[in-house]
Chains A and B, each alone.
Chain A
């Protein structure tokens, strides 16, 4: 029953960990000489300014669990990993880790370019805590995993960056740690290698090892992890079930991104907002972002609304979306058509229509009005899209044309590709085995 005991205890335990980095701003140009002259040697070794990378973070990881740490850039993920690896010490709080750690933080960090891959494997292995005999025993496996049989006796400086990383990864993973720390290193190597890395993680998991992964790949986190910790600006904001934490993260990212898009859109709008009345470009379909038209009808505001009528910049794929624009007619007009276009980031038209095409006879417009283009389900794949809105005559003479001035971000947890996501399902005849997930 000892295995039960091992499983019950925490493999990694962080309690109230804070990490404060010191910045020596005042000492930027200072030298030893000036430090000695002004007698400030000791004082200069003290920080002038502090930066809190982690503040009061506690979480624990049970042995045998696979845990992901997610968060935006600069949220303290890598700092947490370095603390757990023991490379840096927490300013306050304690970090406890049970068992041998192998940290995949920088692959091949100790490689020396002038000597051969073989020699580097031995030295790297010793640095990671293996004995010479242990390395000897695993050597073939290491080389095979890195797919470097042919090049193992060549100096490492002749390796491509992929080869270098593969060898580094292979050595680190063959240390046979109890706790494996991984910092966004799966981006190395080709698809085949990435696949084998994932297999290796799965094998580790089966053997009851603890894995801690820092990554931006949310799909990987959901696929691999039993628990996810979300860090935001150095604080833990969520911890637990992967689906829930990833969801919380996406909501937060969406909110932040919406703010960002709103401000850049506002800026772009102002910059590109000549008084309506500008002549249209020769070929409007090829024109870049801009605005033109006679100005007799003015589009004063464009908002995108989610299911609940909230103004948003980021929507979930498949959710309803309303594009609403407020218009003002300087004088009553009889000949009026409203149009909307959706473009992807490369400028390809995803969809475009207007009231004329849709056979809606808009007869007249006067004064202030609001027009809503309601989409029941926005079946687009994740990505950034640009929106055109326009008011023009039946012949196409623009009153006010907003070209690519509005930004919409579609987010999705499915990793499908393309532009349009048809509603779909898969069906199988007999003889196809499907594992329920």
Chain B
């Protein structure tokens, strides 16, 4: 396992070219092309902010103004996470040809899925930045130093989970449906459309339940860094999640490596 893991570094050019291929192929033949990468999050943002700031406006935490911006800070990383996992789950099945007919390092496929969706996340960040400048609601520059840390942790976390899903989906095709349903539940269990203070307030003494969700800490970190004023002091919990992510990655890679030989036969 460790030797395979070390080899992963050598696959950088392969991963790079596959990510580029994915991005190119996705919008090839569509009129708007790359614009969709911007348009999708923008549309989501418009819908959510209309619902929550116009229809459900009395239910909001007043700290979350401007609400659209708050929402965006949680929604962007979530979209990366959710689409990344969904694509991981089917990554091996959809490239069955490669696994069956070519000597191909299968773990590259879920990693490519996570990176390709991460690129879309970065496109979304450009919109977020433009929006922040437009509203004049700028993040604390010192807090921003934490931002890449959160991104890296989320990346490791997603890849770890993605490897597990990819490997198991080969044997149990229904995982792919299970994942998309589970993600809907997970979305609302995470403070994205509501602030974590509101969530904690509503659950009272049971609010610790929210904190069992690893993505809770990531979402809150994004919001603290990009949206809420004041210095970021979630470093401790963030590092804990970071450690968890690394463990998850190792566990995921171990499982993937164990099942590797079955892929060519079961895909």
Contacts and interface: CB of A to CB of B under 8 A. Distances in A.
Interface of A: 21-22, 31-33, 35, 45, 82, 85-89, 101, 103, 105-106, 109-110, 112, 114-115, 119, 122-123, 126-128, 131-132, 155
A22 B265 contact: yes
A155 B171 CA distance: 33
A109 B101 CA distance: 7
Interface string B154-186: 000000000000001001101100100000000
Nearest to A106: B101
A131 B17 CA distance: 11
Contact of A105 (B24, B101, B174): B101
Nearest to A89: B261
B174 A33 contact: yes
A88 B263 CA distance: 9
Given A112-B21, A115-B24, A87 B265 contact: no
A207 to B, nearest CB: 22
A209 B102 CA distance: 20
Contacts, number: 70
Nearest to A23: B265
Contacts of A32: 168, 172, 174-175, 178
A45 B264 CA distance: 15
B103 interface: yes
Contact of B18 (A45, A109, A123, A128): A123
A22 B265 CA distance: 8
Nearest to B266: A24
A25 to B, nearest CB: 14
B98 A127 contact: yes
Given A82-B264, A87-B264, A126 B103 contact: no
A109 B97 contact: yes
B103 A86 contact: yes
B102 A127 contact: yes
B14 interface: yes
Interface string B95-119: 0011111111000000000000000
A110 B28 CA distance: 18
A87 B96 CA distance: 12
B204 interface: no
Nearest to B108: A127
B230 interface: no
Interface in B75-104: 97-104
Which of B97, B168, B172, B174 neighbours the largest number of chain A CB atoms within 10 Å of its CB?
B172
Given A31-B172, A87-B264, A105-B102, A114 B17 contact: no
B62 interface: no
Contacts of B99: 87
B29 interface: yes
A395 to B, nearest CB: 66
Given A89-B261, A123-B17, A123-B18, A114 B101 contact: no
B13 interface: yes
Given A88-B265, A115-B25, A127-B98, 19 more contacts: A31-B172, A32-B175, A35-B172, A82-B264, A86-B103, A87-B100, A87-B102, A105-B102, A106-B102, A109-B97, A109-B101, A110-B97, A110-B102, A114-B25, A115-B24, A119-B24, A126-B14, A127-B14, A155-B28
Contacts of B102: 87, 103, 105-106, 109-110, 127-128
Interface in B209-258: none
Given A22-B265, A88-B261, A126 B13 contact: yes
A115 B13 contact: no
Contacts of B97: 106, 109-110
B178 A131 contact: no
30 contacts: A22-B265, A31-B172, A32-B168, A32-B174, A32-B175, A32-B178, A82-B264, A87-B100, A88-B264, A88-B265, A103-B101, A103-B102, A106-B97, A106-B100, A109-B101, A110-B98, A110-B102, A110-B104, A112-B25, A114-B25, A114-B28, A115-B21, A119-B21, A123-B17, A126-B14, A127-B14, A127-B98, A127-B102, A127-B104, A155-B28
Contacts of B98: 109-110, 127
Contacts of B104: 110, 127
Nearest to A120: B21
